[in-house]
Amino acid sequence: MIEKRNFYINGAWVPPVNAHDHHVIDPSTEDPCAVISLGDQADTDAAVAAAKAAFPAWAATDPETRAGYVKAILAQYEARVDELAEAISIEMGAPIDMARSSQAPCLPWHLQNALEAMKEIEWIRPLGPHAPNDRIAMEPIGVVGLITPWNWPMNQVTLKVIPALLAGCTMVLKPSEESPLSSLLFAEFVHDAGVPAGVFNLLNGDGAGVGSQLSRHEDVAMISFTGSTRAGKAISMAAAETLKRVTLELGGKGANVIFADADEKAVKRGVLHCMNNSGQSCNAPTRMLVERSIYDQTVEAAAEIANSITVGPASEHGRHIGPVVNKSQWTKIQEMIEVGMNEGARLVAGGPGLPEGMNRGYYVRPTVFADVSNDMRIAQEEIFGPVLSIIPFEDEAEAIAIANDTPYGLTNYVQTQDGPRRNRMALALRSGMVEMNGKSRGAGSPFGGMKMSGRAREGGVWGIEEFLEVKAISGWAAE
């Protein structure tokens, strides 16, 4: 059993004021793998006070110096990457090979991209030739509260902490209590990189406790949150009391529009993307919209692909998917599979219950529904598990209508060899991101959505600017 009972506050590991133990569960076995402490108001106040005291000096540090500390964090990662992957694997169930190849490497990817993006920021810029004595100054917003989820822990920690550091903010990080081990290791990276005391602080806690306390705290200037839409609403309401800035990266129900001229790998690519990370990705393409002329063969192929996906423990090597994170998530997914069957969708792969031969662990059978109507709950609600809904469409106009008929707007996908149609679709789809023909977004591209998916823009220049205030200055003296 791993014991991680202390918090990282003001450059030191300190015990909580009042200990509230929480057991972290290994979802592959259902056994406790660690015990941590959850913070209360006194712990939150101490962390925020440390960040507040450190803010003036950190904000005044030149950007090159801040970048130097971030580079030192990268060096710590490179020395301990295997430790980080193992922590992620045990805490949230990512198969160890995936944790090493996809989960842990989110840290260097986003860190290096942020360093590149920082070079594009003009911290004090002229307003324009019409106003030679006006300047626009970009300044750090202050103390920020960072609340991150369990499904891609290092992805979200890095997308928040690194831009905040580069912007000149000080911070309190509250990672998910479901996957705290990787974040605690990240705090060691920050400490060993020599980041000044109080600039970065970490508290473990739950949403109702530390999460709400940070959201209401009068000395916190901003909350950056990634998680469920339900929690995002609660944070927005709590933060309204102090009129703090709130950036939200929430759920999704992405449409993957497959036209008859899609490339031969489009269906396989879509199914595997949906099932990746056991379906626990907000940008997963969970609705597959298929042109009617290729519908039957696509359903058959999707079922075959899903049935070929193996499920196994996170500790085993291989290309399988692991468990979902906890009993609550497992139960919700099972309920939604039953909902789909009761709504009249045609189950063509997977289904309720544990995979064959398993009687322990939060494993879900890769599941595919065909003949789904977009008004069904399985097409409208985020399931956050390896469950795919296939919906037919007649033409481009109907595909757009179905894809946009959702409360979410995070990522949509398009598969067609028709270039002009790709461009029309990309502009017509109401989402913060559109990816086409299997091509991922480039380095520095912002991640974020529209509608109930929140409106954060994480990554690239946009990700740093979210932590900056814009100050307008007139009467600037000529240099």
Could you give the residue numbers annotated as active site? 249, 282
The two structure tokens encoding residue 74: 């990268």
Give me 290's structure tokens.
């298929």
User: What angle separates helix 419-428 from helix 396-404, to the nearest 10 degrees?
Assistant: 30
Nearest to 383 by CA among 251, 250, 257, 232: 251
Q: Which helix (H) or strand (E) holds 84?
A: helix 63-92
Pairing of strands 2-4, 31-37: parallel
Contact indicator for 180, 36 with CB cutoff of 8 Å: yes
Residue 200: HSE in the Cβ half-sphere, 13 Å Cα cutoff: 28
Kindly state the DSSP code that residue 207 receives in the 8-state scheme.
I
CA angle 102, 119, 68 (to 5 degrees): 70
Using CA atoms, how far apart are residues 373 and 149, in angstroms rounded to an integer?
A: 30
Q: Could you give the CA distance from residue 144 to residue 463 in angstroms, rounded to a whole number?
A: 14
Are 385 and 364 in contact by the 8 Å Cβ rule? The answer is: yes
Report the distance separating Cα 147 and Cα 231, nearest Å.
11
